[in-house]
Amino acid sequence: MKPPSEATIRLLNRGLFVAGTVPFLFLATGGLTHGLGANPVETISHGSGLWTLRFLLGTLAITPLARFPGGHWLIHLRRTTALLAFFYACLHVSSYLIFDQLFDAREIWRDIVRRPFISAGMTSFLIMVPLAATSNQAMARRLGHRNWRLLHRWVYVSAAAGVFHYFWLVKRDTSGPALYAAILAIVLCLRLDEATRRRAGRPSATAPRPSIADPSAPQPTD
């Protein structure tokens, strides 16, 4: 299967970006037209939180999927997906800081200390900040490839904290958090299998052809 051209990949990235902003546009339009129900703040918070997890797990899933024959071009969509995750994380945290706590630093700190789901959510977000800030080629070169990769492995901790945040938030139906936890577990198992095979000197089960470029390397930003 012939991989997409650079022009096609750029077009796909733009399409992904546009599609990724659709949930935000629905929330913004609903907020302006009073169409978010009886509790619009909760709707914004819940919706932005879900899309954060979806894009974050989508970012993690790209690397193992890119290991399959013909799929290495998917890695060029990873940065856009990750930045969409960070955008919705910013929206999610902002809704909490502005509408729930009114920027009351003392109450925010009390919430972080006393409520585990807030602690987990803040942990997930704070990890994402340096990852988003260093997601471009210039920062990758400045940090060095090895340091860049080590830093960006923290994305797995961020995702795990996000899943725990969701688990501790819900009170009854945990099917949603369980689904996201299962997706994260599958991605982690694929990555661990790949790492084990690499250490043993065997080809990855999902990357039988060694000619495929390492998708963990920093990619062009355009």
pLDDT one-digit tens code per residue, 82-99: 999 999 999 999 999 999
How far is 107 from 100, CA to CA, in rounded Å?
10
Task: For 15-38, give the DSSP string.
Answer: HHHHHHHHHHHHHHHHHHTT-S-S
Per the domain annotation, does 60 fall within a domain? yes
Do 38 and 161 form a contact (C-beta atoms < 8 A)? no
pLDDT score of 215 = 37
Q: How many domains does the chain have?
A: 1
pTM score of the predicted model:
0.86
110-163 pLDDT per residue, tens: 999 999 999 999 999 999 999 999 999 899 999 999 999 999 999 999 999 999
Residue 220 lies in a domain: no
Q: Is residue 139 part of a domain?
A: yes
3-state helix, strand, coil in the chain (%, to 5): 75, 0, 25
Measured from the Cβ of residue 10, the count of other Cβ atoms closer than 10 Å reads 14
Mean pLDDT, the chain, integer:
88
Does residue 32 belong to any structural domain of this protein? yes
Q: Evaluate if residue 195 carries a pLDDT over 80.
A: no
Q: How confident is the model at residue 106 (pLDDT cuts 50, 70, 90)?
A: very high
- Residues 65 and 81 sit within 8 Å (Cβ to Cβ): no
Handedness of CA 157, 49, 136, 119 (dihedral sign): negative
pLDDT of residue 203: 54
Q: Is residue 193 part of a domain?
A: yes
Domain span at residue 62 reads 6-199
Distance CA 216, CA 128 (A): 17
Q: How confident is the model at residue 204 (pLDDT cuts 50, 70, 90)?
A: low
Does residue 208 lie in a domain region? no
Residue 65 lies in a domain: yes
- What tens digit of pLDDT does each residue of 51-91 get? 999 999 999 999 889 888 888 999 999 999 999 999 999 99
The C-alpha atoms of residue 122 and residue 139 are separated, in whole angstroms, by 24
Q: Would you say residue 216 lies in a domain?
A: no
